[in-house]
């Protein structure tokens, strides 16, 4: 099963047309991911203590149905791709309306940043295990490592 969290569309999440803003979808996805890591033993304080953190390389958002003020939201998280060393990964979030329809999907390609050296690194084994314990998407992809340069 995917990791899920629930929330609702807040007042600052809405644009002038009354729809949920693009950045609000990204915020919901990012919050869901951090809730997952915290639930698996990696709250923000643990990332800070280890001087490592996730860094996004890009997001792809696809809209399927409108979300409006105070609409309840379920956000699902799955692993969509991973490099063999864990240095790069792809996360898939699905934002689901109360009626079960998909409102949006967010696919984010990311990596692990060494907060002191300011460069991408391989995650520690226990963090990699947390990442790999996520349910995989049906189209899961093996990714190239950003650290394997020819």
Q: Of all residues in the chain, what percent carry a pLDDT higher than 90?
A: 97
Q: Kindly indicate the confidence band of residue 148, based on its pLDDT and cuts at 50, 70 and 90.
A: confident
User: Predicted confidence band at 150 (pLDDT cuts at 50, 70, 90)?
Assistant: very low
66 dihedral zone (left: phi>0; alpha: psi -120 to 50; beta): beta
Q: Note the pLDDT tens digit of each residue in 97-130.
A: 999 999 999 999 999 999 999 999 999 999 999 9
Q: Are 124 and 49 in contact (CB under 8 A)?
A: no
Other CB atoms within 10 A of residue 138 CB: 7
The residue ranges of every structural domain in the chain are 3-139
By C-alpha distance, which of 39, 57, 52 is closest to 124? 52
**Distance, CA of 19 to chain centre:** 22
3-class SS at 17?
coil
Give the separation between CA 142 and CA 48, rounded to whole angstroms. 28
**CATH architecture of the domain with residue range 3-139:** Roll (3.10)
112, two tokens: 């692990």
Cβ atoms of residues 120 and 111 within 8 Å: yes
Task: Tell me the CB-side half-sphere exposure of residue 93, using CA atoms within 13 A.
Answer: 28
């Amino acid at each position: 099963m995917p990791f899920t969290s629930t929330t609702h569309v807040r007042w600052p999440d809405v644009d002038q047309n009354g729809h949920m803003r693009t950045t609000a979808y990204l915020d919901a996805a990012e919050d869901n991911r951090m809730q997952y890591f915290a639930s698996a033993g990696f709250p923000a304080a643990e990332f800070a203590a280890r001087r490592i953190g996730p860094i996004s390389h890009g997001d792809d958002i696809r809209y399927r149905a409108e979300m409006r003020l105070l609409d309840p939201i379920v956000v699902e998280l799955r692993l969509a791709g991973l490099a063999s060393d864990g240095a790069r990964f792809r996360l898939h979030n699905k934002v689901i309306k109360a009626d079960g329809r998909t409102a949006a999907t967010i696919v984010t390609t990311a990596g692990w940043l060494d907060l002191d050296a300011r460069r991408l690194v391989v995650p520690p084994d226990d963090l990699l295990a947390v990442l790999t314990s996520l349910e995989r998407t049906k189209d899961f992809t093996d990714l190239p490592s950003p650290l394997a340069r020819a």
